[in-house]
A and B are shown apart, each in its own frame.
Chain A
Amino acid sequence: MVNSAQTVLSPSWPDRQHIDLISEAVVRVLKGTGIRIDDVDFVIDSGSDFLDGRSISNCGFLGAMGAHHKEESRVEEDGLWALTYGANKIAAGSASVGLIIAYSKPSESIVSNFWADMLEPFTQRPIGLDHESAAALYGQRYLARAGLVADDLQAVSRRAYRLAVSNAGVDLDAVPDDEAFWSEEVSSPLRRADFARPVDGAVAILLASPDVADQITARPVWITGMGSAIDQHFIAAREPDSLPAATAAAKSALRMAGTDSAKDYDLVELSGASTVGELMVAEAIGLAEPYSAIELYRNETASLNPSGGALPADVIMATGLVRVHEASSRLAGRTDSGDIGASSALVHGTGGFSMQNHCVVTMEVAS
C-alpha cells in the first residue's frame, strides 16, 4: 500500500454527490505518488446499490473513480474485502497498480431499511427485526455473561467519541453532551451511543507491486495477512455473545502473516457496529479473554482504535477500508496525530446483517 486518502466523514454531505466524494478521495490518493490515473491497472470498489438508490451503481460512478476503459469490479461488501481482492490480483502477478475505493452516503436513505432489507423475508423481516434490535439481543446476553450493565459500555463509547473529536477526518466538534444520547434506551438495553453513527464519505487506497512501491515511497506498507469468514444468517442460531466468524477470519490472517496473536501487533483498528459488537470483536480476534475486553477500555489501550473506530463514524461499506487508511497512515508516518512508533497493524472490518461477515488484514512497515 503506497498511499491512502479519505474525505472528511460527516453525518451528512448534503451538497456533495457520491461522485464528488469519490473523486476527491481518488485525486488525493494519487497526489504526490507520481502515479497517474493512466498507470492504474484496475479499480475495485465497494458500495451498496441499496444505499445508493440505483442498481449496479458503480456503473454511474466510473468516471469519478478514474476507471474509464479499465478493469473495474464491484464488491458488495465492506471495502476491506475489495482490498483483499486487489491485493490478490497484484500478488498473482496479473497487475502492478490498483486503486481500491469504498464510499457511501447513508444520509440519502433510511439506514434501518438498508439493514432490514438484507434479512430473510419470510420469518425475519416481517416481525420487525432491525439492526439495532439484533445488536441489542447480543447486548443483553453479552452484558449478563460478562457481569456488566449498560452504563459500563460508556467506557467504550465515550472513548470512541473523544478520540473522534481529535481525528481531523471525522466531522465531530465535541463529544455529544445530550443526556438522552448516552442514557435513553433505544433498543433495550442499548442506547443511541451504543450504535455506530452512520456517516457519509469516501476512502481510497493505492496498491502497487513491490517493484513499483519501492519507487514511490521509502515506507510502503506491506500487506502480510488476509482472512475472512462468515457466520450464518439467522441471528437466533448464532452464538449468543461471541463472534466465531471474526475468530476464524483473524486466525487465517495471522496464519498467513506467520504471527501467533493479535497482541503481537503495535496497532489495531476494529469495526464495531455497536459497543458490544466492538468488545466481541476484540475478544474474537484474541486481544482479550472472552467477556473481559472492557478492561482494554477501562485501562486506556493506546494501540486500540486510536482513530475512534467505527462507532462515531460508520461509513457503511467503507468503514473497514477507513480503518486501513487510519492504520497505514500511522505506519507510514503520513498522519498529523503523532507517530506512536508502530511498525505493524491489524485491521478488522465487518459486513452483513448484525456483523455476520468479518475480514481481517495485517500489515507492516520496514522498521
Chain B
Amino acid sequence: MTLTDTTEVARSSAENMHYMPAQLTIPYTLTPGQATGIFIAELVNKRLLGSRHGDEIIVPAQDFSGSTGEPASGFVEVAPVGEVQAFTTNAKGTLGLVLIDGTTTPFLHKLVGFEPGSLEIGTRVAAIWSESPTGNSVLDLAGFGPIGEAGTFEPKSDPEGLAEPIEQIDYTMTLDFKHAYGAYYGTLFDGVETGRRIRGSKCSKCRRVLLPPRAVCDSCFAPATEWADVADTGTIQASSVVHIEFLGQRKQPPYVYAEIVLDGASTRLIHIVGDVDAERAKTAAAPGARVRAVWSDQHTGSLGDIEHFELIEE
C-alpha cells in the first residue's frame, strides 16, 4: 500500500479507530507556606483569618497582595459572616463570592443550604463549619449558608494564639486520557494484534524505515509514503541492566532494557530482553547480539504483545 494523501488514509480508517486509555497519577507534597498554612490550620478552631496589606484586608490570608504586591503587615481575625456578591450554580452545587464583613476582597467558597431561588446578590451568609474537620483543608470550612442568628464583629488585628502553619498537604493529581492511535500506529497495532505483523513506514527521501510508522520522516520532514514489513528479529544496539526501582515501574528489577533495531527497520525499539540473568546480560546482551520476539498469548494490539525479546544463541 502506498500512502499518497495522509488525510484520505486517516479518514478512511475512521471506522476501525483505536484508542489507548491512559491515566497519569502524580503525587505531590504541597507546601502552603506561612499565610495559607495558618489560615487552613485555624479553620478547625472555627477562626477565619485575613491578612492586612495597607488598606486592603484579604481573606483567605495571603503573604502578598495579588493586586499591589504589598506584603502582609499582619493577620486579622474576621467575623465568619458576609454578603454574597455573585454566585453560580452548576451540577456540582453553588459557588459564591462572599465579601466578609470588614474586608476588601471577596472570598470564593461553596454556598450551601439555600432553597432554590432564595439566593440573591446581597444575601447575608454565615460560615458552615465541617462536622468532621481534617485539619489540613479549606473544606474544614464547608462553605457559607443562611445567616440565621450569626453576629458580626470588626476585624481584630494581630489575633493571639495563632496555630502553627500546616507544613505539607499531600495531593495526588489524576489525569485521564484517551489517546488516538491514528492511521499509522493503528495499522501497526492492527497487524500486531491479528497477524503478528510489524510494519513501518519508509521515508521517500532517506529511505529509512521508521518504526513506529509515521506520516513524516523525523529527520528529513519528507513524506513516509510506503509501508514496509519489519521482522520480529533484530540486533541489539545498546543495553542496560536496570537495578533501580521507580514509580510506575512495570517489572521487578533487575531486568535488561535494550535498544533493538529490528531486521528491516532503521529506527531503534526499546524493549526488554528476558530469559537472561543480569550478570550474563552484560556480555550476552551486548551491542551486536541477535534477538527474537517472544510473543505473549495476549492479543491486545500493542507492542506489549511482545512479552520480551530473547537472545538468539549462535
Contact = CB atoms under 8 A, between A and B. Distances in A.
B313 to A, nearest CB: 36
A17 B182 contact: yes
A108 B216 contact: no
B138 A16 contact: no
Tell me which of A62, A66, A108 has the highest count of chain B C-beta atoms within 10 A of its own C-beta: A108
A113 interface: yes
A236 B108 contact: yes
B11 A15 contact: yes
B6 A132 contact: no
Given A127-B138, A133-B88, A140-B88, A17 B185 contact: yes
Contacts of A232: 66-67
A27 interface: yes
Interface string A97-130: 0000000010111100100010001111011111
Contacts of B143: 127
A33 interface: no
A33 to B, nearest CB: 14
Given A20-B183, A121-B30, A129-B95, A236 B106 contact: yes
Given A19-B214, A23-B215, A137-B95, A122 B179 contact: no
Contact of A109 (B28, B109, B177): B177
Given A132-B90, A232-B66, A126 B137 contact: yes
Contacts, number: 165
B109 A127 contact: yes
Given A15-B14, A122-B36, A122-B169, A63 B217 contact: yes
Contact of B60 (A62, A113, A123): A123
A14 B181 CA distance: 8
Nearest to B22: A53
B250 interface: no
Nearest to B98: A236
A123 B7 CA distance: 46
B274 interface: no
A235 interface: yes
Interface in A2-28: 13-17, 19-20, 23-24, 26-27
Contact of B108 (A63, A107, A235): A235
A43 B288 CA distance: 37
A327 interface: no
Contacts of B109: 127
B121 interface: yes
Interface string B197-217: 000000000000000001111
17 contacts: A17-B182, A20-B10, A20-B184, A23-B215, A68-B219, A68-B221, A108-B179, A109-B177, A121-B169, A122-B169, A128-B92, A128-B95, A129-B108, A133-B90, A136-B88, A188-B87, A237-B106
